[in-house]
Every structure is written in C-alpha cells, then in structure tokens.
Amino acid sequence: MTAPRLAVWKFSSCDGCQLTLLDLEDELVSLSGELEIGYFLEATSDTLPPPYDLSLVEGSVAAGADLERIRWIREQSRHLVTIGACATAGGVQALRNLSPLPEYQSVVYARPDYLDSLDDSTPISAHVPVDFELRGCPIDKRQLLEVITAFLADRKPDIPTHSVCFECKLRGTTCVTVAHGTPCLGPVTHAGCGALCPAYGRGCYGCFGPVPTTPGGGGPNTRAMLPLLRRDGLSEADIARLYRTFNAEAPEFAEAARQAEEEAR
Amino acid sequence: MNAPAPLAEIDESGLAALFDALVRRGRTVVGPTVKDDAIVLAELGSAAELPHGWGVETEPGGYRLRPRTDRAAFAHSAGPQSWKTFLHPPRARLWQADRASDGTVTVREDDAPAPRYAFLGVRPCDLRAIAVQDRVLTAGAYRDPVYGRRRDGVFLIVVECTEPGGVCFCTSMGTGPGLPEGSAFDLALTETAGPGGLSYLIRAGSPEGSELLAELPARPTDGVRARAAVAGAAGRMGREVDASDLRALMAGTMTAERWNQVADRCLTCGNCTMVCPTCFCTTTEETTDLTGDHAERWRRWDSCFDLDFSHLHGVGPVRSSARSRYRQWLTHKLGTWYDQFGSSGCVGCGRCIAWCPVGIDITEEVTALRAESGAAGAR
Ligand code: SF4
Ligand code: SF4
Ligand code: SF4
Ligand code: SF4
C-alpha cells in the first residue's frame, strides 16, 4: 500500500497556515513517512501528478482565476480540508466586501486594469463542497496534526465546537472579563486556540470565528454580548470594529457588527 | 472525666505550624492564593502564600480583588475554581494502547496513585459540594477511578465563612456559613482578626485531625468571638432564595415563558457549569499518533451548554436552543438531581452568578419561575 498523497494549496492568504504544517517540527519526519507529498510548493518544488488523497486548502477565493482552479482541485481531491480564516470565512481581505472595490483599487495600484479581482473575497465552501473546515488565524498546529492523524486513521477529528470559555476553564485561566473588566469575544468564539489570549491577560478578538449556528437555534448570541462589551468600555463603533477583523464576513460576525452599528444609530 | 473538651485556638504561627505538619506528613497542600487578580486554588509551598490581607467583591458577572484593613487569610468568598479541579480534574488520561510490529496490542491503564492532598480553606458550601460529588462519582454502582483515587484520604481543613460575598446564598441552601452538624472533615478553623493578630478557633473532626491538633501550639478559648463572626456572616448573605420544593418547581415549569427571557441573555458559553463545584459531566476523546500504533483515551470536562453534549447520530444536537440548554442546566441542578442523587445539585456558593459573563443569576431565575408558576396556579 502506498502512502496517501498530500497536496497543500494556496489561494488569497498570507501563507501562515501552510507554515503551520512546517512548524510541526517534532512530527515532520513521521509525517513524511505516513504521507507522500504530492504538491506543497512552500516545502518543495517537486510535484507529483493528481489525484490527491488529502488536500489542505489555504486562502480565500478572491481572483477570477481562483474560481476554476478550486473546482479543478476539488475534482482531483478525495478529501478536502480548508485551513484558516481566509479559507473558512474569507479572511481579513473580506473587509473589501463592505465597500466598492474599484474605489481603492485605483488608489493602491497604478494600473488597476491589470488586476483580475472578484468583487468579494469568499470562503472555499462558497464554491465547492468541503469535507472539513479548520478555523483560526492562523490555525493551531496541534489541531492541524489532529486533523491529519484523524484522516490517516479514518476517524472523526476531535475538534470541539464550543466557546473559547471552555478552554479558559479547562486550563484554569481566570476570566478576564469577570475579574478584570477586559472586553473579550471568547463566549461567542469557536474554541481551538487553547484560549491563548486570555492566558496572557488579553481579551479574545475572535480569530477562530463564531461558534457554529445550528438549525435548532444554536449559535453565537451576539446581541447579548452588546451590553457586556459596552460595560467593559467599548463604544458601538469599537464593537463593530472588533468583529470586523479576520472573520469579518463570517455571517454571524458580520451580523454582530451590523447589530452594533444599528444600536449606535 | 466527662467534662466537655475545652475549645482551642491557634494564632498565625500556629497556622504555619499546621502547614508544616501537613508537609511533614507528605501531604500536598492546596489552598487559596492570589494569582491574576483573583484568589485561586493552587498547590502552596508555605502558609505565607495564603491571601493574607485580601478580600473580594462579587456581583453578577463581576469579581474584584480588594485589599483588607486586616491580615485575614480566609476573609474572601468563592473564586474562579473549586476543589473539583483537583478531585475531578479538567483533563485526565484513562488509558493508552500500543500496537507492536507483530500486531499485538498492549493496553495500559492510567492508575498511578494520586498526590496525598490536604485541602486548606474548604468553605462549608464547598464541603457540601464535595459530599455531593462523592455521591455522584463514588456511591453508585460504578465508582469513578480518577475521582476515587484522588478523593481517598484527602485531609480536609474547613474554614468557616466570616465574610460572605455579594453572590453567596449558602444560608438559603442550608450549607453554611458555619459548619453544619454532621459534616465530615478533619480539622475546622474559624478565623478572626483582632488587635492581637489573627486567631483561629480549631477543632478536630477525625482521629487524624485530633492527632495533628495535638502537635500544634494551641491555647484554650471560649470561642465567643469566632461564633459571633460566623453568626454575623449569616446575616450578611449577598443573596437569598426560597429553596423549598425546588424539585416540584422545576418539574412544573418546563413550558414557562421565563426560559425564553433568560435565553435572550444567555451566551451558552458554559462557564456556569464549569465553575459549579458539583457539575460533573465529561466527554471522552480518543487520540492516535500519526502511525496509528499508539492510541490514548482521555476524558475532559463537558457541559450541557456544549452543542455536542446532546448530539445524536444522524439527528444532530437535541438541545440546540439557548432555552433548552439553560433549562437543562437549571432543571438538572435543582430538580432532577433530587431524583438521581437524593439532594440538590446546588450548594449556594454563588460561583455561577459571579462567573457568568452576563451575570445571569440562578436565584433570580428561581424567583421568577416561582412567580410565573404562582401566577399560573392562581389563574
Ligand atoms: S483567544 Fe481568540 S483571538 Fe486569541 S488566539 Fe484564541 S481565538 Fe484568536
Ligand atoms: S449552581 Fe451556582 S450557586 Fe449553586 S453550587 Fe453551582 S455554582 Fe454554586
Ligand atoms: S447541569 Fe449540565 S453540566 Fe452540570 S451536571 Fe447537569 S447536565 Fe452536567
Ligand atoms: S448562564 Fe451565563 S455562564 Fe451559563 S452559559 Fe449562559 S451566559 Fe454562560
């Protein structure tokens, strides 16, 4: 039996999530024993032909050429996992979805006519079916390893969908909101980072995106967060800005920012 | 010969002597200490690490450390953790398995002995919480090995409450602020601060407690000042609640409108269950390494606020809405807990009120449910 063939793809992104794979220093050797690297330009310019057993896709769909490329990648991939805020929610570059593109293209670029930009930056799942979405900006390396090992063992990855608060409580971090009055998005943010920021006394700014919304009425209660964030000193404009970062266009965070702006009026 | 044993007290140096005696007996002492602007529970190296001179102010969704005018070490109410962090740890490995090259699988259970703990500064409400978890985790048909190993032989030093917090309601639940009759403990202290420094009324509740007490530099006392401090605390509870017949109240209000109102505010963040000293729910996680030759089973705290908690295969989460998740927490804690374990699951420590980011108050919810069911009954 040959090892499953791995491919790592980049769309509009900073490369940080792919680098997380190279950052798995202690595991890289056994990883390369279990997986055959088929396409991973960040690591090697040698490539192997498709199909690929596991494709990790970083980045958002933001340029015209991306549309066809992601469909081709999907066709060539048995299992497709999107990694990071760009691939799962459109990334920080999705902030451009909020205003007309030509206006700042002309400010930034001398020859905007050379550009092939789409109006919106969108997640991979808006274009092709995705088998698993791994959140974070950047993703957490332990979680990436868990997704890969789960794939190799043909089991469900253990990636909890609860709030960052769970991770604070499990690691014994004192709540920064309750004990210090620090504004924190932890209660509405998807776990995964291990509650990194609160462990250093900072509030969570939501880089793992919202906790999931379910048909039965589950989801981030961002309305109930408004009075809390105000109590901790944020204005409505601050609150809108807080939600509009790496996951600005995750629908729940986009809605939360709108709620804050609506309250300001 | 039959004269009642005289009451005894120790001073601050006696407290240090107690600490040292515990360490000499090979005990790992866990107690309150200041960390990250809160009074947390941690393994302590000496009595000097106790939060001398610190108090706390608590309110729904708020907790602040406040300097005191005296050196009291135990004049503070519940902090962000409870003793369950040590007895029922957030994560525990249950076993690991290895597959050899010939295919044989070896399973090794994690059954290393636990530290021999001494818990210094257990509040009466928390002593009751330990008794509640004892019932849940060790008194049924299956004794929980992780909890059992840690719980066996813990040396419990209770400190009665003299400074209740703004969210405390142990008087309503019958668990404090003094040590209720019939409690099981090793030593019990009552701290008072006076012009002559700190003093601790001390009594033993077990043979090991008596043995240790005999080694301490104690002097006789009438105990009047200590008794008065505890009685005064009972009159200064931050909250109270009518705790009569909670089981019937919970069973009779499943369709109440109030659940919608609390759901509008609830973040379903799960903090209340994780700070609650009696909540015991866990989930298991299975991990493999890259080769698949090594596997481990862990368990970690879970909560009925977690969507995966009620996930059914092919159906998804059965309790998705905030209404159904909050209702599960409250009705289990105050209602079905009686059916399962013969007591309330709430001991009145107030943690879920203080550490709920949006300050949802269990006593206020009970009062509102009572009002709504009373109004419905009157119609
Ligand atoms: S605490 Fe929040 S902002 Fe910080 S790393 Fe975690 S998810 Fe990102
Ligand atoms: S329900 Fe709240 S007040 Fe009652 S024991 Fe649990 S944390 Fe304490
Ligand atoms: S209230 Fe929820 S988390 Fe706590 S013991 Fe009951 S079901 Fe478990
Ligand atoms: S009651 Fe408070 S602490 Fe509990 S889940 Fe709701 S918002 Fe979180």
In chain A, the percentage of residues whose pLDDT exceeds 70 is 100
Are the Cβ atoms of A163 and B267 closer than 8 angstroms?
yes
Integer-rounded Cα Rg, in Å, for chain A is 19
pLDDT attached to residue B335? 98
Q: Which ligand is nearest to the CA of A168?
A: 1
Query: Are the CB atoms for B19 and B189 separated by under 8 Å?
Result: no
Distance from the CA of B261 to the center of ligand 4, in angstroms? 13
How confident is residue A218, by pLDDT bands cut at 50, 70 and 90?
A: very high
Instruction: Kindly report the three-state secondary structure assignment for every residue of chain A.
Output: CCCCEEEEEECECCCHHHHHHHCCCCCHHHHHHHCEEEEECCCECCCCCCCEEEEEEECEEEEHHHHHHHHHHHHHEEEEEEEHHHHHHCCHHHHHHHCCHHHHHHHHCCCHHHCCEEEEEECHHHCCCCCEEECCCCCCHHHHHHHHHHHHHCCCCCCCCCEHHHHHHHHCCCCHHHHHCCCCCHHHEECCCCCHHHHCCCCCCCCCCECCCCCCCCCCCHHHHHHHHHHCCCCHHHHHHHHCCCCCCCHHHHHHHHHHHHHHC
Are the Cβ atoms of A218 and B268 closer than 8 angstroms?
yes
pLDDT attached to residue B378? 54
Whether residue B4 has pLDDT greater than 60: no
The closest alpha carbon to A177, from A244, A231, A98, belongs to: A231
Residue type, B175: T
What average pLDDT score do residues B146-167 get?
A: 96
Distance from the CA of B331 to the center of ligand 3, in angstroms? 9
Q: For residue A194, which atom of ligand 1 is closest to its CA?
A: 6
In chain A, the percentage of residues whose pLDDT exceeds 90 is 90
Cis previous bond, B357, omega within 30: no
Tokens in use for A102? 């030509």
Query: Are the CB atoms for B146 and B113 separated by under 8 Å?
Result: no
C-alpha pair distances (Å), A149 with each of A4, B145, B169, B277, B294: 12, 29, 48, 35, 11
Longest dimension (CA), chain B: 75
Reported as a single tens digit per residue, the pLDDT across B114-138 is 999 999 999 999 999 999 999 999 9
Distance (Å, whole) CA B363 – CA B2 = 46
| Strand pairing report for A132-134 and A77-83 | parallel
Rounded to 10 degrees, what is the CA torsion of B61, B66, B70, B74? 40
Distance (Å, whole) CA A128 – CA B200 = 69
**Best A166, A230, A232 residue to mutate vs chain B (most B CBs within 10 Å):** A166
Tokens in use for B377? 């009954």
Distance (Å, whole) CA B237 – CA B167 = 8
Are the Cβ atoms of B63 and A179 closer than 8 angstroms?
yes
| Strand pairing report for B187-194 and A77-83 | unpaired
pLDDT attached to residue A108? 87
Reported as a single tens digit per residue, the pLDDT across B73-120 is 999 999 999 999 999 999 999 999 999 999 999 999 999 999 999 999
Distance (Å, whole) CA B219 – CA B207 = 20
A205 in ligand 1 pocket by Cβ < 6 Å?
A: yes
How confident is residue B6, by pLDDT bands cut at 50, 70 and 90?
A: confident
Whether residue A187 has pLDDT greater than 60: yes
In chain B, the percentage of residues whose pLDDT exceeds 70 is 98
Reported as a single tens digit per residue, the pLDDT across B308-351 is 999 999 989 999 999 999 999 999 999 999 999 999 999 999 99
Q: What is the ipTM of this complex?
A: 0.95
Whether residue B377 has pLDDT greater than 80: no
Element containing residue B39 per DSSP (H, E):
strand B38-43
Q: What pTM value is reported for the model?
A: 0.95
pLDDT attached to residue B321? 96
Give the one of B291, B306, B358 whose C-beta lies nearest to A30's C-beta. B291
Reported as a single tens digit per residue, the pLDDT across B339-354 is 999 999 999 999 999 9
Chain A residue with CA closest to B60: the answer is: A178
The closest alpha carbon to B74, from B108, B35, B121, belongs to: B121
Residue B193: strand pairing partners: B198
Distance from the CA of A13 to the center of ligand 1, in angstroms? 19
By the 10 Å C-beta count (0-12 exposed, 13-18 middle, 19+ buried), B310 is classed as: middle
Q: For residue A165, which atom of ligand 4 is closest to its CA?
A: 8
Chain B residue with CA closest to A152: the answer is: B290
B107 φ/ψ sector (left φ>0, alpha ψ -120 to 50, else beta)? beta
pLDDT attached to residue A47? 96
Are the Cβ atoms of B269 and A165 closer than 8 angstroms?
yes
Whether residue B1 has pLDDT greater than 50: no
In what order do the strands lie in the sheet containing B105-109? B105-109, B91-99, B294-301, B282-288
Q: Which of A42-51, A97-106, B322-331 has the lowest mean pLDDT?
A: A97-106
Give the one of A31, A158, A211 whose C-beta lies nearest to B290's C-beta. A31
B268 in ligand 4 pocket by Cβ < 6 Å?
A: yes
Between B379 and A12, name the one with better pLDDT: A12
pLDDT attached to residue B5? 62
CA-closest residue to ligand 4 atom 2: B356
Give the one of A158, A165, A172 whose C-beta lies nearest to B270's C-beta. A165
| Strand pairing report for B91-99 and B105-109 | antiparallel
What average pLDDT score do residues B207-233 get?
A: 96
Query: Are the CB atoms for A64 and A38 separated by under 8 Å?
Result: no
Residue A36: strand pairing partners: A5
Tokens in use for B45? 């190296």
Average pLDDT, chain A: 96
pLDDT attached to residue B117? 98
Distance from the CA of B56 to the center of ligand 4, in angstroms? 21
Whether residue B62 has pLDDT greater than 90: yes
Residues with Cβ within 8 Å of residue B304, at least 6 apart in sequence: B273, B281, B310, B319, B325, B328, B329, B332
pLDDT attached to residue B51? 98
pLDDT attached to residue A101? 86
| Secondary structure class of B315 (helix, strand, coil) | coil
Query: Are the CB atoms for A160 and A143 separated by under 8 Å?
Result: no
B269 in ligand 4 pocket by Cβ < 6 Å?
A: yes
Domain ranges, ordered by start, for chain A: 5-153, 164-264
Chain A residue with CA closest to B42: the answer is: A172
pLDDT attached to residue B272? 98
CATH number listed for the domain at residues A5-153: 3.40.50.700
Reported as a single tens digit per residue, the pLDDT across B10-45 is 999 999 999 999 999 999 999 999 999 999 999 999
Distance from the CA of B282 to the center of ligand 3, in angstroms? 9
User: Contacts of residue B298 in chain A, CB cutoff 8 Å?
Assistant: none
Residue type, B74: F
Q: Which ligand is nearest to the CA of B340?
A: 3
pLDDT attached to residue A192? 98
Neighbours of B11 (CB within 10 A): 16
Integer-rounded Cα Rg, in Å, for chain B is 23
Are the Cβ atoms of B80 and A179 closer than 8 angstroms?
yes
Q: Which of B168, B333, B334, B356 to mutate to test the pocket of ligand 2 (most atoms within 8 A of CB)?
A: B333
